[in-house]
Amino acid sequence: MRSGSVLMTTVAWLAAGLPALARADLPVVELGAGMFRIEAELAATPASRQVGLMNREAMAPQRGMVFVFTEAARHCMWMRNTLIPLSVAFLDQSGRILNIEEMQPRTETNHCAAAPATFALEMNHGWFAEKGIKPGDRLRGIERLPPGR
C-alpha cells in the first residue's frame, strides 16, 4: 500500500499546484564528482527508468537522478513530459564520464551515449559545466550502486 500512498501524495501535490520535487518511493544514493557531493535518486528498475524526472517543476542544485541499466549499451534519453532542462552524463561501468548532453524540456530529441554506458546521471541543466566536470572524469560511489533490474 505504500506505493499507493506515495501516488496519492504526488497527485495531491500536483492538484494543489505544488511542485513534485522528489519521489518518496525512490532511494537516494550519495555520489561524488570532483569536490562536489550529489544526492541522486536511484532509477534501477524499468518503471523508475521510464518515468525518470518527468513532471518535476524544480530540483535542488545538489540533487539528480542516476539511471542504472541492466547492460552496457548506447542508451539514449529524451525529455517527453520533463518540465525542467537537464544535463545528462553517460558513464561506463567504472563511473568514467563518456559524454555529457544538454537536454531541453518537453522535447523528444534523443540524447545518446557516445559509447556503451552502464549508468546515466541527470542533473540540472549546466551543472556539470558549472562545476568543471567533463568527459573522462570519474564519479565516486558508482561501485555501491545495485545492479539494474
Instruction: Report the pLDDT averaged over residues 114-138.
Output: 98
**Residue 146 reports pLDDT greater than 90:** yes
Helix and strand numbers (H, E) in the chain are: 3, 9
59 CB burial (10 A radius; 0-12, 13-18, 19+): buried
pLDDT band, residue 14 (cuts 50/70/90)? very low
Of all residues in the chain, what percent carry a pLDDT higher than 90?
83
Quick one: pLDDT at residue 10? 35
3-class DSSP state of 123: strand
**Residue 16 reports pLDDT greater than 70:** no
Are 41 and 26 in contact by the 8 Å Cβ rule? The answer is yes
Quick one: pLDDT at residue 19? 41
Domain spans of the chain, in order of start? 21-144
Q: How far apart are CA 66 and CA 31, in angstroms?
A: 9
Quick one: pLDDT at residue 22? 53
Q: CB neighbours (10 Å) of residue 43? A: 25
- pLDDT tens, 25-84? 799 999 999 999 999 999 999 999 999 999 999 999 999 999 999 999 999 999 999 999
CATH superfamily of 21-144: Protein of unknown function DUF192 (2.60.120.1140)
3-class DSSP state of 91: strand
Quick one: pLDDT at residue 3? 36
Q: CB neighbours (10 Å) of residue 77? A: 21
Higher pLDDT, 110 or 13: 110
